[in-house]
Amino acid sequence: MKKASELTVVDLFCGAGGLSLGLQRAGFRVLKSIDHDGWAVQTYRRNLGDHVVEAEIGPDTRLPEASVIVGGPPCQGFSSAGSRRNGDARNTLVGVYASLIAARKPMAFVFENVEGFFTGEDGTRVLELLRPLVDAGYRIHMRKVNAANFGVPQHRKRVLVIGGLGWDPSFPEPTHMAFGAPGAHLVARERPKTPTLLDVLEGLPRPASGSEGTPQGHFTPPLTELDVKRIRALLPGQRMRDLPQELQHESYARRAFRRVKDGTPTERRGGAPSGIRRLKGDEPSKAITGASRNEFLHPVEDRFLTIRECARLQTFPDDFEFLGPQTAQMLHIGNAVPPVLGEVIGRSLAADLKRIKRGFQPRSGALLSFVPTASQGMSPALERTTEMVMAAFGPQLEPKEQLRLWG
């Protein structure tokens, strides 16, 4: 086993490298990163180094010895922004991830995924992650967080799981108070406010027309006459449903009243009804996804956001270069762990690892906290998952109030 104080990491399902970049800033040395997406690997290699490998990740994947393993298996099977179907083969990578950590036994691990991880597959993937890791001796925090509480200028709700092998890890303390979304103010009320969208975009030149742009990706494609009419009709905070009927997308009437039962859409989500939204400049952005460049309008100018503006809202530096077709670039930006969030996680982990002394007496595995929401209410689907977790790990949780509110 690596000495606890060594800040070395393996990044699984690394994508373009947002989490790796944040961990490097926090003092970690990334020994190996793996992803199956060729363009993501090329982007990672261009910006972060040659320790990245293009490969499928499975139970037999060979990993170097590191003090920490991090990663987030592909989230599309759980995401509310795309198709969400039980049985999605990508969901089974949660089990692969857990088995690799249980076999390699790093001093700590970090798991990150979309908030739908709690309710996707009827919550069974939550237990698929927790059971083998608790059995392997990890003491674990599992909480839903809003990246805006850690300085990321967008309301990006994610599941964050942190475990220590036989020791109690800290959970990163919020650095900012979020605002501009229901319930956002419930956490870290005493902290400085999260940067706003216009705060973060300040200093960028006017985007180029057509293609290219400086910095890379800062350009706007041509708009159709219908695009212009729709954009000019929307005020900050308004979206497709606020447009006159003649300007609404042809699919809107069919899909605008789609029902969401127990957290699961009856039709594929995304597209026009939830898209084309003019953002508010004096608030953090809505969550950046792979579709944001075609959905989110600049709060002041009559145009869509540029690729570079989306990257800034994800806290990538302007010199971080994204490779591949524009659709691939946006996918990698939207799927990334924001580097600023990665750095906060890394600094918390680094402090923990440096205080652990060799020869400490390990304790048995346990679920230390489970916080599926920062609000008082839960959907029926989330309640079912919470009941399953309580049945499996409830006696370990102290106090049980952690189940309802973290703040």
The residues annotated as belonging to the active site are 75
CB under 8 Å to 42, separation ≥6 — which residues?
323, 324
Q: How many residues does the chain have?
A: 407
The secondary structure of the chain, three-state, reads: CCCCCCCEEEEECCCCCHHHHHHHHCCCEEEEEEECCHHHHHHHHHHHCCCEEECCCCCCCCCCCCCEEEECCCCCCCCCCCCCCCCCHHHHHHHHHHHHHHHHCCCEEEEEEEHHHHCHHHHHHHHHHHHHHHHCCEEEEEEEEEHHHHCCCEECEEEEEEEEECCCCCCCCCCCECCCCCCHHHCCCCCCECCCHHHHHCCCCCCEECCCCCCCCCEECCCCHHHHHHHHHCCCCCEHHHCCHHHCCCCHHHHCCCCEECCEECCCCCCCCCCCEECCCCCCEECCCCCHHHCEECCCCCCECCHHHHHHHCCCCCCCCCCCCHHHHHHHHHHCCCHHHHHHHHHHHHHHHHHCCCCCCCCCCEEEEEECCCCCCCCHHHHHHHHHHHHHHHHHCCCHHHHCCCC
User: What is the C-alpha separation between 245 and 126, in angstroms, rounded?
Assistant: 42
HSE-up (13 A, CA, CB side) for residue 294: 12
User: In the sheet that 108-114 helps form, which strands lie side by side, from edge to edge?
Assistant: 52-54, 29-35, 8-12, 68-71, 108-114, 157-165, 138-146, 366-371
Radius of gyration of the chain (CA): 21
